[in-house]
Amino acid sequence: MEDKTIGVIGAGSFGTAIANLLAENNKVILFARNQKVVDAININRKHKKQEIHLNVSATNTPKEIADKCQLIFPIVPSSNFKLMLQTFKDYLTPRHILIHGTKGLHVEKELVKDLSLMKEEIYTMSELILKETGVVRVGCLAGPNLATEIAEKKLAAAVVASDYDEVIELGKKALSSNRFMVYGSNDTVGIELAGVLKNYIAIAAGMTSGLGYGDNAKALLVTRGMTEMIYIARSLGYSPEAFLGVAGIGDLMATCNSQLSRNFRVGYFLTQGKNLAEIIKEIGEVAEGVKTLQLIRALNKYGFKAPIANVLYHVIFEGMEIKKGVNYLMNINVEADVDFLSK
């Protein structure tokens, strides 16, 4: 690479944690839109309850990151991802390499009840980067990466996926340390889908905890949830292999068992009588699983089996009683345990 300074776009909890992680090996420029955030990072050396590494500096100037960094990690919510790309696109060229860390999907249409979508109308973040900018070399970062634990320097791992081996190697070199292991994959969209679909299963896991159903019930949920995720992926024409590794099973386990997970907390708080608006306000950051449920609903023409997603949709958007939804799921007739391998 021409320049060893690495850019991070997005100063949320995860973006800040990744900037600090990258700073163990590299100089890092962290982009934040708000000047107060930039000052907190550059002057106070603290943001999102995290001490900022000395190798990290902040800016609110897109051109500065584009000029100084060839490798850039965009880490912003999916709802803001297109706007971010439009802000940066005049400064991004084919020389740049973007490895995003956003677990979400983009759709141009408003997500309303009874909306029907073709899969071609839904973009992963890597597909959106290719559509909106002149960048060619694109990748994604996915895995069981709870921001709080990364910030606390606890052991973790992730996958860097890209069609380009060069992108994978640069991502691994930039991120790898004795506390953060990085694997590689050429199945970019599969890895992205695994990171997206687990979000709604984590909402259901939060509900099982909130209702006091115990570890056996959660294990059942996670197992059937993985089966459901694979059914959806296969129905859309994607390989299930990405779901069986760190970005699939690994991420699913972490988000379904941690109260640090935003999606888990959505499900838990719903069982405590709070409504969705109250929960989103309390969490303070986007829980992608809610949007994922709407998108799965809109893809119903593909005929995949998604009973967990269907019940969650009824609970969150149509007022179904949570215990009634759980009883429905417990009475679904399943022919075999590992049925997705034979169909």
Instruction: Spell out the SS3 assignment of the chain.
Output: CCCCCEEEECCCHHHHHHHHHHCCCCCEEEECCCHHHHHHHHHHCEECCEECCCCEEEECCHHHHHHHCCEEEECCCHHHHHHHHHHHHHHCCCCCEEEECCCCEEECCCCCCCCCCCHHHEEEHHHHHHHHCCCCEEEEEECCCCHHHHHCCCCEEEEEEECCHHHHHHHHHHHCECCEEEEEECCHHHHHHHHHHHHHHHHHHHHHHHCCCHHHHHHHHHHHHHHHHHHHHHHCCCCCHHHHCHHHHHHHHHHHCCCCCHHHHHHHHHHCCCCHHHHHHHHCCCCHHHHHHHHHHHCHHHCCCCHHHHHHHHHHHHCCCHHHHHHHHHCCCCCCCCHHHCC
Q: What is the pLDDT of residue 40?
A: 97
Q: What is the pLDDT of residue 341?
A: 52
87 pLDDT more than 50:
yes
Residues of the chain with CATH 3.40.50.720: 6-186
* Catalytic site residue from 198, 218, 274, 305: 198
Q: What is the pLDDT of residue 4?
A: 84
Q: What is the pLDDT of residue 331?
A: 81
Q: What is the pLDDT of residue 84?
A: 98
Query: In the structure, what pLDDT confidence band is assigned to residue 148 with cuts at 50, 70 and 90?
Result: very high
- Give the model confidence (pLDDT) of 37-48 as tens digits: 999 999 999 999
Residues of the chain with CATH 1.10.1040.10: 198-341
Average pLDDT taken over every residue of the chain: 94
* 7 vs 29: CA distance, rounded Å: 5
* 58 vs 31: CA distance, rounded Å: 6
Question: Does the annotation mark 305 as catalytic?
Answer: no
> What pTM was estimated for this model as a whole?
0.95
236 pLDDT more than 70:
yes
Q: What is the pLDDT of residue 337?
A: 65
CATH number for 6-186: choose from 3.40.50.720, 3.40.50.1820, 3.60.15.10, 3.50.50.60.
3.40.50.720
**Residue 276 Ramachandran class (φ > 0 left, ψ -120 to 50 alpha, else beta):** alpha
284 pLDDT more than 90:
no
109 pLDDT more than 60:
yes
Looking at residues 129-136, what average pLDDT do you find? 98
Looking at residues 135-162, what average pLDDT do you find? 97
Q: What is the pLDDT of residue 2?
A: 44
Surface-to-core class of residue 60, CB atoms within 10 Å of its CB (0-12 exposed, 13-18 middle, 19+ buried):
middle
Query: In the structure, what pLDDT confidence band is assigned to residue 266 with cuts at 50, 70 and 90?
Result: very high
Query: In the structure, what pLDDT confidence band is assigned to residue 326 with cuts at 50, 70 and 90?
Result: confident
Query: In the structure, what pLDDT confidence band is assigned to residue 330 with cuts at 50, 70 and 90?
Result: confident
Q: What is the pLDDT of residue 11?
A: 97
CATH of span 198-341: 1.10.1040.10
**Could you tell me which residues come within 8 angstroms of residue 258 by beta carbon, excluding any fewer than 6 positions away?**
146, 264
Could you tell me if 12 and 73 are in contact, meaning their C-beta atoms sit under 8 angstroms apart?
no
- Give the model confidence (pLDDT) of 2-49 as tens digits: 458 999 999 999 999 999 999 999 999 999 999 999 999 999 999 999
Query: In the structure, what pLDDT confidence band is assigned to residue 339 with cuts at 50, 70 and 90?
Result: low
